[in-house]
Amino acid sequence: HCLAVRAVCQREIDCDRGNGYSWKITLLRNYWKSKVKQEWLSGKYSNIPSRFSLPEKSMYPMDVDTWGEILEAELER
C-alpha cells in the first residue's frame, strides 16, 4: 500500500518521511489523498457540468502544489 500511495503522492510521502513520520503514520496521512488525487489526475472529473455533479468523496484537503499538478494534467488533456 505504501508504494502504491507513493506512486501518486511522492512529494507528500517524501516530505512526511523527511519530517520523521513512520511509514504507518505516513500511510494514514496520505492514503485517501492518493485515491482522490489519482481520480483527478486520471481525468475522472474532467467534464463535469457543475460542482454539484462531483461525488461526495471527490474532494480532500490538498496543498497548492497538488492542485497545481491536477491543473497541469487538465491543461494537457
Domain range annotation of the chain: 1-76
Predicted confidence (pLDDT) per residue in 57-76, tens digit: 788 888 899 989 989 998 99
Q: Which residue carries 496521512 as its cell?
A: 29
64-76 vs 23-41: helix crossing angle, rounded to 10: 30
Query: Could you tell me which residue, 56 or 41, shows the higher pLDDT?
Result: 41
CA distance 43 to 14: 25
Q: Name the pTM for this structure.
A: 0.77
CA dist 62 and 29 (Å) reads 11
Q: Which of 44, 57, 42 is nearest to 8 (CA)?
A: 42
